[in-house]
Amino acid sequence: MSDDWESYPRNRDVSLTWISFDRGLAAEIALVVPTTCVRLSLHVRSPSPNGMPAKAEFDALNRIEDMLVPFVEERGGIYAGRMTARGVRTFLCYAELPERDIRAFCDSVSRDPGYALAVDREHDPTRRGYWDELFPTEDDDSLIQDMKVFEALRSSGDDGTRPRRIDHW
């Protein structure tokens, strides 16, 4: 499977959503055998006013994701991405996961990082979860490219304070 991850913000229903997804999966997702979209959601502990987790919480959320990816992949599934909005982080994957396995995973997450996971499963043979919830629109793609330019400038030592001419084409 792919490992071409990108992140971007999207305004949905007047709230900010941060999305991180595997773009390279777009070329392969039709070949993915599991047709069940599994969403595991949790409430962040101290969301900011715009619903995002505090920096202090990132380590715990990353640990959960680091536990989830091998859990899904060892069972023949794929992890497609995550969304964070309104104080809720949702992990999206495609997998055929037995109920007992999901329960065991949720129990381990509630013990170690201390979060309660809600699970939603739906039959999704056309992969609408990936295309509608994670994959960027044309406007989102433009923002992603702009963010890459800003990051390249920052990486080259540009602090962004010097005015420059911008040609749009």
Taking only the tens place, the pLDDT of each residue in 63-99 is: 999 999 999 999 999 999 999 999 999 999 999 999 9
Residues 6+ apart with CB under 8 A from 28: 1, 2
How far is it, in rounded angstroms, from Cα 104 to Cα 117?
Answer: 11
How far is it, in rounded angstroms, from Cα 62 to Cα 86?
Answer: 18
SS3 call for 111: helix
Taking only the tens place, the pLDDT of each residue in 16-44 is: 899 999 989 998 888 888 999 999 999 99
Taking only the tens place, the pLDDT of each residue in 115-128 is: 999 999 999 999 99
**Greatest Cα pair distance in the chain:** 59
| DSSP symbol at 55 | G
How many C-beta atoms surround the C-beta of residue 73 within 10 A? Answer: 14
Indicate the pTM of the whole model: 0.84
How far is it, in rounded angstroms, from Cα 7 to Cα 5?
Answer: 7
How far is it, in rounded angstroms, from Cα 90 to Cα 84?
Answer: 6
Least confident of 38-47, 65-74, 98-107, 133-142: 133-142
